[in-house]
Amino acid sequence: MSLFQSVLKQYTTPTCNLEILSSSSATETSLPGIQKAPESFQLKIHPPLPVQNGKGSDFLQSDTEEPTILTIVVRGTVEQLQSLHAAIQNYLQGFLAKANVPALAATSTPGPIRFPVDPPRRSSPAVADAGIKLQPRGLTQHTLQLGSLVASPSVSAIELASTQLFDLVGTLDRYARDVPTPATEPQRQLIARPSGARKQGLWIAATALAALGLAGLAKVLPSFQGPALQVASQSATDEQRDAPNVNNTFQPGILPGLPTGTPAPNGLASGLPTPTGTPGATPSSAIPTPNPSQTLSVPGIPVPSSTSLPTAIPTAIPAGAESVAPGAKQSSSSFAQSLPKPVSGALKPVPPTFAIASRSPQLDKARGSNSAAKTYPPVSGSAFKPVPPAASRPPQTGIIPQANPAARAQPFEPFSPAAPPVSAARDAAAETAARTTPTETAARDAGGGTVFDITQQVREVRDYFQPRWTPPSGLDQVLEYQLSVNSDGSLWKIAPLGEAAGRYIDRTGMPLLGVPFVSPIPNRQRATVRLVLSPDGKVQTFFEGLSQ
C-alpha cells in the first residue's frame, strides 16, 4: 500500500506557511475523522511583502534592484521543528534585550548609518539542538542557520528580514500552543506545578524587585505565587487553545490580545520564565559565520497567503500508532502481523488486536445490525473476565469472544455512585489474580497499574457523553469510537469505527484533543476506551486496554 503525506494542520502568516504532515496510506486518509500523529513539517518562507501603497511608498519605485523571486521550503521532523522554535525564541529574547543598538545595516554591507556592533550577550544567539542557530545581521536582518534541517533550494542558512522573523515566530508560537513541545514545557510546568511556579515566580519577583529598587515588596510577592499564577495561566491557555481552531490565518491588526478579562498583572506573570534559565545560550562569537555563498536572502515580492486547513493535531505521537490505526481498511490478518504486543496487564479484557479484529466483515455486519453492545464485553465488576493467555486465545479471525449477556445489559452498574466501584472491582480482581499466571502477574506489576486504576475514568467518559449525546434524526445504527485517553485525562486520538461514526462525529459532543475531560490516569498510563452511542440515546463505554 502506498504511503503519502497528508497535511494535519496548517498555519499561515503573510510570509510564512507551516504544514504539519503525517504519513498515511490512501485508505486511511479516505476515512473521515481519523486523527493521525504529526511526523514531519514543511515550512515555506516567502519573501517579505512589499510596502502597501500608501503614505510614502512611492519613493521605493525607484528601486532598481530586481529581486529574485524565491520561496524557501524547509523540511524536517516535528522534533526538529521544536528545536527551531526553541532556537528562535531564545534568539529573540536576546535580541529584544539588547540595550545598545547594532549597526543598521549588516556589517558586510555599507549602509547609511553604521555603529559598532555591541559586544555579544550571553543569550543573544540561540543554539539549540539540531544545530539551528540565529545571529543578528544588522538591525533588520537575521541569519538563520538551518543545521540539520533540509531546505529547498539547498542552503545552509537563510537571511530573514525582521518581518519574516516576526511571522515565523508567530507561526511557531501558534503551533506550540496547539501541540506541547519541549520549548513550551517550562511554561506549561508553571501552570501544572504550583511549587515550580512558585519558585520561578519568586525568582522573577526577586529579580524585578531588585531592578526596580525594592519598591512594593509586600504588595508584589503574593501576586507571583502559585495559585494566582495558575489561574491566569490557565485562562490564557484556554483562550489561546481555542483561537487557532477558529481561524489559522494570521491577520495583522486583529491579533488576539492579552486576556483582557484576566487581571493583567497575573496574566503577564503567567508566561514569564526566567530569562537567565535559557538553555543552550552561548555568545555569538561562538557561532560560526555562515558561508556567504550558501546563505540565501529572500528579497521582497508579494506572495499570496495560503488557505488554512484547520485540523486537530494529536497531542502526542503514539508508539505504534500506525499499527493500530483503527480506520485502516486492512484485513485482520495483515494487521495481525504488524500489531504491537498487548500491553502488560493480565486484567485487560480486550487486547489491542481486538480493535483490529473488529474491522473484519463479520464484525462490520454485526455492527450494522445494531448489535455492537452485544458483541463487546462491557467493563463491569461482575462481568470482568481475564484475558486468556495468548496461546489459548482464539486466532485472529475477527470473531469476537462473547461475554455474559447479563453483564452486557448494564455494563457500569458496579461503578455507579450508589455502589462504590472499588469493592466490586477489587473482588473481581482478586478472583482474576488467582487465575493469573506468574508471568502475567509480573508483567502487570511491571506495567505499574491495572485496569481497576481507570474504572473511574471509563465511567467518567460515559458520564461525559451521556448528557451530550442527542441522536441525530435518521440515525439507525450505533456509532462507535475508539478513544485513546492520555494519562492527564485528555484525548490524544479519536478513531471512528465505521463510516457512520466518521460522518456523525461532529454530533457526538466529542471533547477537544488535549483537553482533560476525565480524571488523570494513575501511573502515567494511557487507556483505550470504546464509546458506543446508540440511536435510542444510550451511551456505553468499554475499557479496551492500558498502555504506557
275 is a site residue for other proteins (CB under 8 A):
yes
| Interface segment toward other proteins; rule CB under 8 A; list 25-33, 86-94, 322-330, 515-523 | 86-94
Binding mask 240-269 for other proteins (x = CB under 8 A): x-----------xx-xxxx-xx-xxx-xxx
96 is a site residue for other proteins (CB under 8 A):
yes
CA distance 243 to 145: 31
**What is the residue type of 398?**
G
3-state secondary structure 32-64: CCCCCCCCEEEEEECCCCCCCCCCCCHHHHHCC
CA distance 44 to 118: 32
Q: Of 50 and 516, which has the nearer Cβ to other proteins?
A: 50
Task: Give all strands of the β-sheet with 539-547 in edge-to-edge order.
Answer: 491-497, 479-485, 526-533, 539-547
Q: Of 69 and 409, which has the nearer Cβ to other proteins?
A: 69
Of 27, 68, 100, 291, which one interacts with other proteins (CB under 8 A)?
100
Nearest alpha-carbon partner for 544 in 364, 377, 394: 377
Neighbours of 233 (CB within 10 A): 24
515 is a site residue for other proteins (CB under 8 A):
no
| Interface segment toward other proteins; rule CB under 8 A; list 25-33, 163-171, 396-404, 520-528 | 163-171
Residue carrying the nine cell digits 483490529: 356
Contact positions with other proteins (CB under 8 A) in 310-329: none
| Interface segment toward other proteins; rule CB under 8 A; list 99-107, 391-399, 415-423, 502-510 | 99-107
Of 196, 273, 448, 522, which one interacts with other proteins (CB under 8 A)?
273
CA distance 279 to 147: 18
**Minimum distance, C-beta of residue 60 to other proteins, in the bound complex (Å):** 6
56 is a site residue for other proteins (CB under 8 A):
yes
65 is a site residue for other proteins (CB under 8 A):
yes
Q: Of 220 and 373, which has the nearer Cβ to other proteins?
A: 220
**Minimum distance, C-beta of residue 443 to other proteins, in the bound complex (Å):** 45
97 is a site residue for other proteins (CB under 8 A):
yes
Of 5, 107, 274, 333, which one interacts with other proteins (CB under 8 A)?
274
CA distance 498 to 328: 10
Q: Of 210 and 391, which has the nearer Cβ to other proteins?
A: 210
| Interface segment toward other proteins; rule CB under 8 A; list 116-124, 350-358, 389-397, 425-433 | 116-124
**Minimum distance, C-beta of residue 296 to other proteins, in the bound complex (Å):** 15
Residue carrying the nine cell digits 543569550: 123
**Minimum distance, C-beta of residue 43 to other proteins, in the bound complex (Å):** 18
**Minimum distance, C-beta of residue 333 to other proteins, in the bound complex (Å):** 50
CB 164 within 8 A of CB 49: no
Nearest alpha-carbon partner for 248 in 307, 184, 331: 307
Strand duo 157-161 + 295-297: pairing: parallel
391 is a site residue for other proteins (CB under 8 A):
no
405 is a site residue for other proteins (CB under 8 A):
no
**Minimum distance, C-beta of residue 227 to other proteins, in the bound complex (Å):** 17
Number of chain positions touching other proteins (CB under 8 A): 88
CA distance 376 to 360: 14
Residue carrying the nine cell digits 527551531: 84
| Interface segment toward other proteins; rule CB under 8 A; list 90-98, 150-158, 475-483, 485-493 | 90-98
Q: Of 271 and 340, which has the nearer Cβ to other proteins?
A: 271
Of 70, 73, 105, 312, which one interacts with other proteins (CB under 8 A)?
105
Binding mask 203-232 for other proteins (x = CB under 8 A): xxxxxxxxxxx-xx--xx--x---------
Q: Of 253 and 467, which has the nearer Cβ to other proteins?
A: 253
Q: Which residues pair with 75 in a beta bridge?
A: 42, 150
CA distance 450 to 546: 8
Strand intervals (E) in 431-512: 479-485, 491-497
Which residues lie closer than 8 Å to 199 by C-beta, 6 or more apart?
none
CB 17 within 8 A of CB 44: yes
CA distance 535 to 533: 7
Q: Of 274 and 362, which has the nearer Cβ to other proteins?
A: 274
Q: Which 3 state secondary structure label does DSSP give 390? A: helix
Q: What is the 8-class DSSP label of residue 285?
A: G
Q: Cis peptide leading into 263, omega within 30 of 0?
A: no
32 is a site residue for other proteins (CB under 8 A):
no
Q: What is the CA radius of gyration of the chain?
A: 28
Q: Of 37 and 298, which has the nearer Cβ to other proteins?
A: 298
Q: Is 364 exposed, middle or buried (0-12, 13-18, 19+ CB in 10 A)?
A: middle
Angle between the 194-211 and 185-192 helix axes, to the nearest 10 degrees?
A: 110
Contact positions with other proteins (CB under 8 A) in 130-149: 138-141
50 is a site residue for other proteins (CB under 8 A):
yes
99 is a site residue for other proteins (CB under 8 A):
yes
| Interface segment toward other proteins; rule CB under 8 A; list 20-28, 147-155, 197-205, 403-411 | 197-205
CA distance 317 to 78: 10
| Interface segment toward other proteins; rule CB under 8 A; list 104-112, 303-311, 459-467, 472-480 | 104-112
57 is a site residue for other proteins (CB under 8 A):
yes
